[in-house]
Amino acid sequence: MKTRTLTLLGLAMFTGMLAACGGGGGGGGGGRDDDTTQSTLDAQLRQVIAAEGLTGDPTTGRNLPSINDPLAQLGKLLFFSKSLSGDMDTACASCHHPALGGGDGLALPVGTGAIDPDVVGPGRNRADGLPNVGRHSQSVFNVGLYDTGLFWDSRVESIGKETGLNGTGSGIRTPETALHVADPLVTPGTSLVAAQARIPVAVPGEMLGSFMPGAAPEAIRQRLAERIGDYGAGAGEIPNNNWLAAFQTAFASAESAEQLITFENIALAIGEYQRSMIFVETPWKAYVQGDNSAISDSAKRGALLFYRDLNPGLACNQCHGGDFFTDERHAVTGFPQTGPGKGDGAAGDQDFGREQQTGNSADRFMFRTPTLLNLTVTGPYAHTGTYTLEDAAQHYFLPNDTFAGRFPGGSLCRVPQFAAHPDCANLYPNTVVNSAAARNAVTQQRLIDATLTFPDLSFSPPRDAPPLFDFLQTLTDPCTLNRACLAPWIPDPSEAPDGNQLNATDSSGSPL
Ligand code: HEC
Ligand code: HEC
């Protein structure tokens, strides 16, 4: 991890900024707060932007498909198809809907076995009222921009991590191979995103359900391809199956279902669809590219906090640096641990994060730094999804208070997903102890690297939190907030190649 030292220049700039803030926090109006402030702020921030080498555009030099490409169009239909789940009740979009920021809006996913499988987002439930996946569903927006690994623990990982290639350069490790060993079943040149699409279909809580219990993942994938392709053991499983025509169009080929509808081609198309979901036209980008009026003064103050070295700044860019707002590495940040967990610890409800992949206890509680683009729509936040955006920002300077505010006495009743659960006060009883262990790991880490942002900062949240929060809001592409703008990524019911398209609704029955 990059370490940073406090410079005298940084101090001088901060003094200027304090005067600009007038101690009043955030709003920026009245009195001596004004005129000179505006230009001083811009001058300071432009200096930071130049020093960081930002261009505002994380897509530069990348080869990304359009949603109008035939393969991305096929991928859209597959991404929304419940036919890819064992019991035909769950689609990728059940947990990654474009109208929900590319995620599911829940803290923890409700995958297979939902009471109403077509309800997606808040209100999607199983009979026991509990999630059946232990980590928060990440957004699929901009996943074509990652070069190192996917998932919170990067368990789908590029061997060479070449910049700009989204994993196509040198083979991909998956959970089915040892660390640093390319999965031989993933064809060379496959993107991280396409390789990832192989995984959820073979996970019982995500998509597999009760289908083919104990079968090898590759046998499951083969079987699902036969179902979609209407051949072999899957023949006749889907009534009114029109997938072959869709594949022939997408691949511009007259080949047979056996040749064309392989799981490799399914994953390729799903990958191209997701790689077309690029949402980077943010107010921050406009600002970086020269428009001083694109963001508010408060957001500019927040940006200075975000980028400046620790004390007086918050040095968030140590990890969330660059135009994609992530170093794509793993770090301990001590966000809460709740829910069913990932099998770690005595009770199995702990999550050791990256250590699960490396087996190295030095990696305990490390997670891959997520991008901060489109944060406004990708909530709730962090790997168990229990924090609001305000919580997540404040976590870095008031970790214990933020935790206690969200989980008073360890209760989950203030986490929206669990608020209506009759036993919300007593759910996941190890939340307090498991979360404290993760926060303690940060304290330990700070003894090794004192430049780590968190915790123990002498910041006064009333002054610092609102500007920081305003800055984070400028990282969202307005398209992600607009259903009409997102329409190209959501299939119309008339496009369905079979009867299993997920035409999702919210809990009141309105189409998403
Ligand atoms: C039951 C909910 C669920 C379903 C269904 C599901 N996912 Fe996910 N997805 C998740 C969760 C949870 C994570 C994070 C898991 C982890 O890190 O352990 C994730 C992670 C991802 C990521 C990684 C994003 C990143 O930033 O690294 C991609 C890409 C993705 N899913 C695509 C898909 C595709 C494609 C499908 C269908 C083949 C699918 N998902 C089905 C819940 C789901
Ligand atoms: C040491 C590296 C590091 C630093 C410094 C850091 N972060 Fe993070 N950030 C992470 C990691 C890793 C996660 C994911 C942790 C998890 O889910 O458990 C994360 C998650 C987040 C999230 C939640 C994103 C999501 O999609 O769920 C937000 C918001 C965030 N950070 C903002 C900030 C801000 C603001 C700062 C500065 C005050 C900051 N981060 C400093 C590494 C870092």
* Class for the domain spanning 70-277+491-495: mainly alpha
- For residue 90, give the ligand nearest its CA: 1
For tokens 């829940």, what's the residue? 106
Q: Which atom of ligand 2 is nearest to the CA of 332?
A: 12
Instruction: Give the sheet arrangement for strand 149-150, strand by strand.
Output: 149-150, 156-158, 172-173
Q: Please state, in angstroms and rounded to a whole number, the distance separating the CA atoms of residues 259 and 252.
A: 13
Find the length of the chain.
512
pLDDT of residue 317: 94
Please state, in angstroms and rounded to a whole number, the distance separating the CA atoms of residues 345 and 355: 12
Q: Phi and psi for 193 in degrees, rounded to 5?
A: -65, -45
Question: What pLDDT does 469 receive?
Answer: 93
Q: Where in the chain is the domain with CATH 1.10.760.10?
A: 70-277+491-495
How many angstroms separate the CA atoms of 399 and 437, rounded?
Answer: 13
Neighbours of 408 (CB within 10 A): 12
From CA 88, how far away is CA 118, in angstroms rounded? 11
Tokens linked to 445: 């880490």
Cβ atoms within 10 Å, residue 442? 21
Residue 384 has a pLDDT of: 98
Question: What pLDDT was estimated at residue 12?
Answer: 29
Query: Can you read off the two tokens belonging to residue 1?
Result: 């991890």
- Closest atom of ligand 2 to CA, residue 395: 38
Cis before 370? omega within 30: no
This prediction's pTM: 0.93
Of all ligands present, the nearest one to the C-alpha of 336 is: 2
pLDDT score, position 460: 52
pLDDT of residue 461: 54
Upper half-sphere CA count for residue 336 (Cβ side, 13 Å) = 35
Ligand 1 site residues, Cβ closer than 6 angstroms: 90, 92, 94-96, 109, 111, 133, 135, 137-138, 140, 143, 150-153, 193, 196-197, 200-201, 206-207, 270, 274
pLDDT of residue 3: 35
CB under 6 Å to ligand 2: residues? Answer: 314, 316, 318-320, 331, 333, 335, 367, 369-370, 372, 375, 378, 381-383, 392-393, 396, 452-453, 468
Ligand 1 geometric centre to CA of 462 (Å): 36
Over its length of 512 residues, how does the chain's per-residue pLDDT go in tens digits? Answer: 333 332 222 322 333 333 333 333 333 333 334 445 668 999 999 999 999 999 999 999 999 999 999 999 999 999 999 999 999 999 999 999 999 999 999 999 999 999 999 999 999 999 999 999 999 999 999 999 999 999 999 999 999 999 999 999 999 999 999 999 999 999 999 999 999 999 999 999 999 999 999 999 999 999 999 999 999 999 999 999 999 999 999 999 999 999 999 999 999 999 999 999 999 999 999 999 999 999 999 999 999 999 998 777 888 999 999 999 999 999 999 999 999 999 999 999 999 999 999 999 999 999 999 999 999 999 999 999 999 999 998 888 888 999 999 999 999 999 999 999 999 999 999 999 999 999 999 888 877 777 776 645 555 555 677 899 999 999 999 999 999 999 999 999 999 999 999 999 999 999 99
